[in-house]
Structure 1
Amino acid sequence: MDVKIRARIRDGDQQALGELFDQYATSVYNHAYWLVGDWSAAEDVVSLTFLEVWRLRERLDPDGGSLRPWLLGVATNVGRNLRRARRRHQDALAKMPRADPVPDFADEVVGRIADAQRLEEVRAAIGRLREPERDVLLLCAGAGLDYAEAAEALGVPIGTVRSRLFRARKKLELALTPATGRSDRGTAVRSITEHP
């Protein structure tokens, strides 16, 4: 199916772009969340990714395989750009006078707090990885690409993907293991470190 969609998208078929979106939007969205750490910003990454796909459609090889690695590579670049823009925005806001904080009553729900803290710990640990390691981890463990697909998405050799993923997993494991030596950080940590 991807070969037909590739040719149709290259020819400017908007319906083919819609089909591509239907097929891969969830995958791009999940990957985008791990890239930017915010569900709302992840929606922006998805939108911008498919706009970029449309803009770059003439560069698309009509005879390639799955479009998923290419889409996730585009999403990775969009996420990087969005993170940079958010940092600049936060830096600008930090220079402004601060208002009194308004309490967030949703934080009173204990279960949500624990889940949010766990997820934030994982996201923060991932955020402290070097960018090449983080990109490989998010593509392989987060988005489920195999080594070859991640190598294609990032334009690097498979061996580079393997070594970066190994280092990223070790660093993440060290960052998320409590002083007791037992890792009980929940399913979010296990799911991001166990794939493939």
Structure 2
Amino acid sequence: MDHQQFAELYDAHARAVYAHAVRMTGDRAGAEDIVSLTFLEAWRLRDTFDRVTGSRAWLLGVATNVVRNTRRAARRHRDALARLPPPDPVPDPADAVVSRLTDTDRATAALAVLGRLRHADREVLVLSVWSGLSHDEVARVCGVKVGTVRSRLSRARARARARLRVLTAAQLAQHPSPTAGKGNP
């Protein structure tokens, strides 16, 4: 059977195979899948096609076998899933969102503080704290002595802490705690 003959076979019997699949499965969407699988299997088995039996009967036989195989596969899949251990509890996504918001607020505050530092202090602080370089490595990158790195880092940390305190106080003033002023510690 060549491509043209198979296309004619499909055109002549696709509706009958679909109706048969709907009756067998009781599911229109599932029947569409059965029709697709039936014609794929029919193409694979086209050399076994017996013209004496008739194309409609042959295709309905293929469709019936596809339905059986699909049901067996679904049962095996359900059984395999039933043997799996129960899944671990899933964390509440709201917690992750709140955490990200808090992290975003912190990152925004840190960037605001960094933006207010002198360039040399910011450079040393970023290389040392965020990039994890040693004092010797920072000195090489910046082209300064290790003692200069230490003093810049000390100054940058002190200024960053002071600016962060001011920024945090301003944020708290804008967004007071719900328990503030109610006698709660």
TM (norm. structure 1) is 0.39
TM (norm. structure 2) is 0.41
Choose between structure 1 and 2 for higher RCO, CA contacts under 8 A separated by at least 6 residues. 1
Q: Which of these two proteins has the greater Rg computed from alpha carbons? A: 2
